[in-house]
Each structure stands twice: as C-alpha cells, then as structure tokens.
Amino acid sequence: MTTDLNDIPAIALEWHRSGTGAALATVIETWGSAPRPVGSQLAISGQGDIMGSVSGGCVEGAVVVEAMDALDDGQPRLLEYGVSDDEAFAVGLACGGTIRVLVEPVGAALPPALLAQLVAARASGTPVAYTVDTKTWARALDGPDSYPDRFRADKSGFEGDIFVGIHNPPLRMAVIGGVHIAQSLIPMARAAGFAPVLIDPREAFASAARFPDSDLVHDWPDAALDAFGIDTRTAVVTLTHDPKLDDPAIQAALNSDCFYLGCLGSTRTHAKRVARLEEAGFSAPQLARIHAPVGLNIGAKSPAEIAISIMAQVVQALRQG
C-alpha cells in the first residue's frame, strides 16, 4: 500500500484495482452528538480490511458487514444507526446521536473511472464535489461554482435528494517571521489541520533548530508568496514588526483571495501600516480585511498565548466567514 493512509478514496481505488474489491462508506447525515461529521469516510476491502472511520468505532463492524454484502450484490446501501449513550461515551462523547451512512461498492455502483477522477482531483489540490442522487443513484463531480457556500464552509450535506460530498484541498498557512510567536503558532496550525510554511529571509530566525520538521522558505515574502500561490484556502499571518518584510507580504495577501490576513502590532503600529498601504493605493474595503492587532482579544501575553489567540481567530474566520 503506497497511498496516503488519510486519503480514503485513493485507498478504495487501490484496493479495487488490486483485485481485492472495495466499498466506500460515507457519513451523509447526522443528528445529535454523532461521533464523526458528515463527509467522514471508511474504505472496506473485499478481504474485510478497513481504513478510515464513520463513527469512531461504534458501528464500523455493522458497516463492514453491509459493505461485504454490497460487494456481493453490487447494490449501494443507505444505512441508519443510533449511537447509544454508552457507545458514545466509549469514543469520548457525553451523549449519543444518529448517523446515516451511504455504502457504495466500487465497480458495480460507484464507477471506477469517476472515483479515479475524484482521486486525481484530490491529489492535484483541485476542489471538487462528489454528488450522488439517492433516488436515481446518478453520480457526478462538480466544481466550486456549483456549491460555493458548501466549499467555503467545508460542509458536505444534502441538496434535496442529492448528497454533496465536499473534497477541498488542504488548508494552508503562510507565517511571515521566524519569531517566538511563530514557534508556537506553526505546530498549533499543523495540529489544526493546516499545512504551514514559515517565510523569513533571515536564516538565523527561520532555522531548522528553531523550527524542527517545518517547511522553511528563506526568500523575501512577496516572492515567496508568489511561488506559494495564495488561494481561498490560505491564511497569511505577519509577525516580524519590520515593514520591509511585513508590508510586501500584506500587499500580496490583499491582492489575493486568502480567507484570513492577520498582522502583529499595536493599534498605533497598525495605524502607521494603514497609512503606508493607503499611500500604496489600497482601498478602505481592502484594508478592512486585515485583522490587527492580530488574534482574538483574550488578554494573551506570552508568545504561546498570542499564538492561541491567532489560531482561534483564523478558525473563526474560516468557519464563520
């Protein structure tokens, strides 16, 4: 198995191509405190191997049995399970819920060519929606223009009888400045599901010793961000306090579709920054995109506390717009 163990569609496709057979199970609806969110997936091989999760362990066994039956008769399944309070407690929840699961055998129900297109789109970082009409079983792939709100919110779900499974590229974060706050922010971002990169031409600041196991770019921020390719799945955070480094990054971010731009500095520092940006030709609506002083106002003092406030604000901007 050479596939990324988190790439459930790719695992199902590889199992199918190897001849062992595969089914893909997807959480399509939840009620109450369901263990896994809508869109969560489980791949099941014809030999009973599994990868992924649809419930954190509560109903996987039952889903595997249904998947094996689906591989035998080639028919998809719509399953519903109530997760009891005791089962929920076992996987870390205070109370139970209900989940609805779609099981699709690859080949007879889910066309391998369509699954391959989905896998290729995910591998290339192309946002794509996998749709299936639960009445007619018609399936298709659609782009962000078809479901802009769902792509923006990372929210799979139903549109009438059609289940829309959102497959967005990974979230990314560009951090400008290898300062103490960045040393806490980079691992926090990674833990929150972001792919962070640290940009600082000063190699003494952005060193492997200070930032182990991190992507480091020792280039000027404007050139680095141009190569990085800011998109709607990108957060940009500037931390250097040095206009020579921060301003080019801010200008690049303001000219992009990044969903978040946060800049370290006091209210007075930000006022001077705004004056410079206005002189550079940026409008009031553009400048209003900047979160400054950066982070939620939680009274943070230490570098780690400031990093927490930044990460919280980034998530708030992502999820609440």
Is pTM beyond 0.85? Reply is no
- Confirm if 164 and 128 have CB atoms less than 8 A apart: no
> Where do the H-state alpha helices sit in 154-239?
180-191, 221-228
By CB atoms closer than 10 A (0-12, 13-18, 19+), residue 287 is middle
Q: Going residue by residue through the chain, which has 321 residues, state the pLDDT in tens, using 9 for 90 and above.
A: 445 667 999 999 999 999 999 999 999 998 877 678 899 999 999 999 999 988 876 788 889 999 999 999 999 999 988 766 565 555 554 556 788 999 999 998 999 999 999 999 999 889 999 999 999 999 999 999 999 989 988 899 999 999 999 999 889 999 999 999 999 999 999 999 899 999 999 999 999 999 999 999 999 999 999 999 998 889 999 999 899 999 999 999 999 999 999 999 999 999 999 999 999 999 999 999 999 999 999 999 999 999 999 999 999 999 887
Domain with CATH 3.40.50.720 in the chain: 171-320
Give the Å distances, CA to CA, from 55 to 179, 266, 284: 40, 45, 47
Q: Topology of domain 171-320, per CATH?
A: Rossmann fold (3.40.50)
